[in-house]
Amino acid sequence: AQSVTQLDSQVPVFEEAPVELRCNYSSSVSVYLFWYVQYPNQGLQLLLKYLSGSTLVKGINGFEAEFNKSQTSFHLRKPSVHISDTAEYFCAVSPRGSNYQLIWGAGTKLIIKP
């Protein structure tokens, strides 16, 4: 069975510091990968996606992620965070040949300290 693990439930970081949010997955088939952001009391917004091609993917708000097939990881990074990045971040995978469902991680709360 497929699964997604977000290794940190919360990540505190100082403003303007770099951050990495970790995501590992398990799947017997190839997958598409996604990162979403959820601000308080809002729906989820797609940050970036990996479907094929270059393993380094750039998204909105200065975020990027790198797909590592051998380590089955898709970590999210930003070189310098801002207060406005305070949110919860979700990693998700779509196994090819599945029934159109996304497999979700439990989420990581990014806490920006001034």
Partner 1 sequence: SQTIHQWPATLVQPVGSPLSLECTVEGTSNPNLYWYRQAAGRGLQLLFYSVGIGQISSEVPQNLSASRPQDRQFILSSKKLLLSDSGFYLCAWGQGYYEQYFGPGTRLTVT
The secondary structure of residue 100, as a DSSP letter, is S
Among 49, 66, 77, 86, binds partner 1 (CB under 8 A): 49
When the beta carbons of 26 and 80 are compared against partner 1, the nearer one is: 26
Decide: is 96 part of the binding site for partner 1 (CB under 8 A). yes
Among 89, 90, 110, 112, binds partner 1 (CB under 8 A): 90
Among 1, 54, 71, 100, binds partner 1 (CB under 8 A): 100
Q: How many CB atoms lie within 10 A of CB 69?
A: 10
Decide: is 102 part of the binding site for partner 1 (CB under 8 A). yes
Question: Nearest approach, Cβ of 17 to partner 1 (angstroms)?
Answer: 26
Count of H-run helices and E-run strands, the chain = 0, 12
Radius of gyration of the chain measured on its C-alpha atoms = 14
Q: Name the nearest CA neighbour of 10 among 1, 21, 23.
A: 21
Question: Nearest approach, Cβ of 105 to partner 1 (angstroms)?
Answer: 7
The residue count for binding partner 1 (CB under 8 A) is: 25
User: For the chain, how far is it from start to end, CA to CA, in angstroms?
Assistant: 41
Q: How far from the centroid of its chain's Cα atoms is residue 36's Cα?
A: 6
What are residue 41's DSSP bridge partners?
Answer: none
What residues make contact with partner 1 under the rule CB under 8 A? 32, 34, 36, 41-46, 49, 51, 90, 94-102, 104-107
